[in-house]
Amino acid sequence: MTDSGPFDLVVHGLLALEGENNTHEGWMGVADGRIATISRTPLHGKETVEAADRLVLPGFIDAHVHCRSSEEEGIEATTHAAAAGGTTTLIDMPFDRPARPVNSAERLQQKIDDIAREAIVNVGLYVTFSPSGSLDEIPAMARLGAAGYKASTIEVDPVRFPRIPDGRFVEAFSEIAKTGKPVAAHQENQEIIYSEANRFRAEGRTKPLDHALSRPPVAEAEAAGRLLEFAYWTGVHLHMVHGTIGRTFDLIRWNGTQGVHATGETCIQYLLLNQNTLTEKGGIAKCNPPLRSQAEVEGLWDRLQSGHIDIVTSDHSPYPLFRKDTPNIFDAWAGFPGAETLGVLLFSAGVAENRIGLARFLELVCSGPADIFGFEHKGRLKEGADADFVIFDPQAQWIVDEGRLHYKVGVSPYSGRTVTGKVLSTWVGGQCVFREDLVIGTPGMGRFIPSSKT
């Protein structure tokens, strides 16, 4: 094979290359599921995708997804929606429902096998550890290719999603540090939140906004600082998930000057929605940590622009309306879908509104997560990378309609939002899984992506 082909597939369009805000016309040759060459001159292929003046972007990577937090969704449904949104790789959390956390090599292998049968796009996997007992499974799960380890400072479910005591965190962080994998924790102080929730209930303060008010920013900041201190003393790579306040990222940055290996993510909802959305949409907008004030939203954008936030994720955790629409906000389940809308919403609010450039966008949802989690063939359009890409119309305007999204749960807090930028087609390993508003990929087209981090 020569640089001129014939390739299995040739893509012609405006290529979005790493580190560049301006795209340039080019041709991408694909062979055996990988990008064989990128050229400024025409290439020849058995099949040609003519994107003309449309963008050719790396496939998005959503590094925070809960496929099985709801039995109404699952791996197939979540990856179906991800394909429609241009997400070609996601990283799934280990807190599967019913209560079957992925905390052993056996459970991890079972889920890897499930992905091979059910996934339409690629999937990496977080794993977890229990609040007590042996930690012997930590290296075993690392050897199977786990992307990282996830745990919580607050109890969501005593078996599926338990609280990890501080001493156990230090013990586990020390073992995880030996694997080279990142570790993350849901950072909220349980004592503060439980106390506030009990007080709000006792006072009859159960409106949607009370969810946010009862989980104050100090609960996040304190837990973040505590975890960063554990990371300092154990040498583990701490990846701080779903940061909602500027102080979380300031703490990450300061600890970095002290030698702590720490990275951080926020989620698209914390950039686009504020706590007033709870009043407008009720339980549909309930998530944990909660939506914050508009001042905190603007603070996150400031840190996003300055490079002090590493990646943006969705924290996709969908539930049907009957789990969300309750008269008492404390009875509503926390979480909502986002795997389908991550890339387009960030492009619209960031690139289209000139808050960030295209290069920064690609760092946040493509190359950044690939680097943090050790997906060395993902996140970039370059020779040798997997041919995971998106044909994208940066000018198209459309309105999010929860009835037309590809989730089973059928609700979205973004419904009614006008968006600039649209996914026209999604390709995984050189195969089309979405085009013309239809998911054409089938279960089994996606695969488990092991982390190369050691």
Contact assessment for residue 426 and residue 387, using Cβ atoms and an 8 Å cutoff: no
Residues in Cβ contact with 191 at an 8 Å cutoff, skipping those fewer than 6 apart: none
Architecture of domain 59-373 in this structure: Alpha-Beta Barrel (3.20)
Q: Please, what's the b/e burial string for 366-382 (b: 16 or more CB within 10 A of its CB; e: otherwise)?
A: bbbbbbbbbbebbbbbe
Q: Residue 147 is encoded by which pair of tokens?
A: 């992307």
Distance of CA 384 to the CA centre of its chain: 24
Residue 3: its pLDDT value, please? 54
Contact assessment for residue 251 and residue 275, using Cβ atoms and an 8 Å cutoff: no
Closest C-alpha to 126, from 154, 95, 156, 155:
95
Residue 2: its pLDDT value, please? 44
Residue 99: its pLDDT value, please? 76
Mean pLDDT of the residues in the chain: 96
| DSSP summary character for residue 332 | S
Contact assessment for residue 176 and residue 137, using Cβ atoms and an 8 Å cutoff: no
Q: pLDDT, tens digit, for every residue of 150-195?
A: 999 999 999 999 999 999 999 999 999 999 999 999 999 999 999 9
Q: pLDDT, tens digit, for every residue of 107-159?
A: 999 999 999 999 999 999 999 999 999 999 999 999 999 999 999 999 999 99
Residues 418 and 400: their CA atoms lie apart, in Å, by 6
Q: pLDDT, tens digit, for every residue of 306-364?
A: 999 999 999 999 999 999 999 999 999 999 999 999 999 999 999 999 999 999 999 99
Spans of all domains in the chain = 9-57+384-439, 59-373
Residue 4: its pLDDT value, please? 56
Residue 1: its pLDDT value, please? 40
**9-57+384-439 against 59-373: fold identical:** no
Q: How far is CA 254 from CA 250, 262, 439, in A?
A: 6, 10, 44
Residues 213 and 216: their CA atoms lie apart, in Å, by 6
Q: Residue 188 is encoded by which pair of tokens?
A: 């909220």
- Rounded to the nearest 10 degrees, the angle between the axes of helix 246-257 and helix 217-234 is 20
Q: pLDDT, tens digit, for every residue of 7-30?
A: 999 999 999 999 888 899 999 999
**What percent of the chain is helix, strand and coil (3-state, nearest 5)?**
35, 25, 40
Q: What is the CATH number of domain 9-57+384-439?
A: 2.30.40.10
Q: pLDDT, tens digit, for every residue of 373-419?
A: 999 999 999 999 999 999 999 999 999 999 999 999 989 999 999 99
Contact assessment for residue 127 and residue 451, using Cβ atoms and an 8 Å cutoff: no
Q: Residue 308 is encoded by which pair of tokens?
A: 């002090």
